[in-house]
Structure 1
Amino acid sequence: MGEVVNPPRLVTYVNHHRCHAAYAYYTSPFKRALVLTVDGQGHQGHSFSVWKADVSYGILEVKRPDWKVGALFGAGGSPPSLIEAAALAGAVDEAYAAKLRKLLDRATEIKEVADFLRDHPATTDRARAAIQSVAEQYVTSAIRSADLTDVEGITIAGGVAMNQLIATAIATPARLPVWVPAAPSDASAVFGCLWGLQPPTERPQPQYTGPPLPAAQPLPAAHCRPLDWEAVAALLETGHAVSVFQGPQAIDCATPGHR
């Protein structure tokens, strides 16, 4: 790199997954956290890491299962949003899921997953639901095998963290709060690169490019109205509400489902 750009000072390389881990941890409310970085592809094809993070020692990679989970969504198969939507129906193609598990257990390169999806595309909702189901199984298995002693919460970053169903699923085995940062994908890598070298002196505010959510001005245009907590309580009593979520203001339209 020095030969190419002739930098005036030392150039330090920060591992791509460490960038994700630093951004997820240092934007979280936790002092001690388990951090998952699950990406389509990272440093030298690396795709999956487990980290421990603590204010006393920073971020430490403790395990690298390196399953190519992210490639199931980004290697040319069905659009990720269509996979999530199909999973909501609940019906899974178990034969296709078994092939995916066998693939993830043996694959060492993204290309192997891409080749499989090209030769065996998920053309039905049941097959798409199988992709989501298998991805959740592998991510949650990393939680189940992790040492959660003294851990306050779990954070997840990388492209797969954009998957709302996975972000929800990882809370179940750990019974711990889960933090998905405002921009879990590569859009935030520059923050993680800086914090991976020098942690911030204080927890930063969420990165956000739009108007604040509580602002009343955009509400009429969106045919919305300010939140009425009494109405929320009444809705919860009916049993028809799916959930009530809160969290940092996100950068894109998909992330409210993360909270």
Structure 2
Amino acid sequence: MLKAQSLSIGYGKTRIGSGLELTVQSGDILCLLGPNGCGKTTLFRTLLGLLPALSGTVMLGGKPITAQTRAEIAHQVAYVPQAHAPPFPFEALEVVLMGRTARLGLFGQPGRNDRAIARNAMDRLGIGGLAHRDYSRLSGGQRQLVLIARALAQEAPLIVMDEPTASLDFGNQAQVLAQIAGLVQDVATRGCAVILSTHNPDQAFALNAQVLLMKDGVRQAQGSAHEVLTDASLSNVYGIPVSVETTSSGRKVCLPSLACQSAPTITSDALTIA
């Protein structure tokens, strides 16, 4: 479905990452993990054909992505961005209908079937009641669910999500992640694949995902979450002590150390006032 070989990424002459390899097949869930600036978003933009690769190749559906039109790419890949601010006060249903654009052709208008697909996508995510609400006035979590519904309405076999829980409060993060988990459970039967980036390695465990762990644009480890996300690998990537622990319910969680390693020790003498 998607394959990157010997991929170098960046902007112009500025190289951000190199030597990246990945293969995504039907039914896969791949989670990109790494600190800020490690190249996750740049990699996404390259995989989507929005940025040219500095070297290497990206194959989508067995063909080089550089040989495909935007419409051809849109038939195969749906994208859920970190955030979206519409220039006009669209209704939520209108935003979801935008996912049908690639299938309507030039100057095409959505018909009854397109509207049914959009409504079904919203109902599937439990947001059908928001159809005629002003999208710009929805909560962050609700807007993110609308964007996921737009991706579903696109009917592409690959869904790419760039930090879909970023900037959301705890409750909205849980709501969005629950819906993503629902999509993941249905991935095999729909013949889809999902690529997801996140700053929270716990999410990779929760989704039972494959993981590409990155640092400074270089692949550090790749494989299943349970194989890749270890105390050593996470501590190396994030530069702080991290322990992976198992809760009483059997769920794995990642706990960073809160100790300040470089803080000076303050003695009682240092507090004496002359």
Same fold by TM (over 0.5)?
no
Q: Look at both structures and tell me which one has the larger radius of gyration over its CA atoms.
A: 2
TM-score after normalising by structure 1: 0.33
Which structure shows the bigger proportion of residues in helix conformation?
1
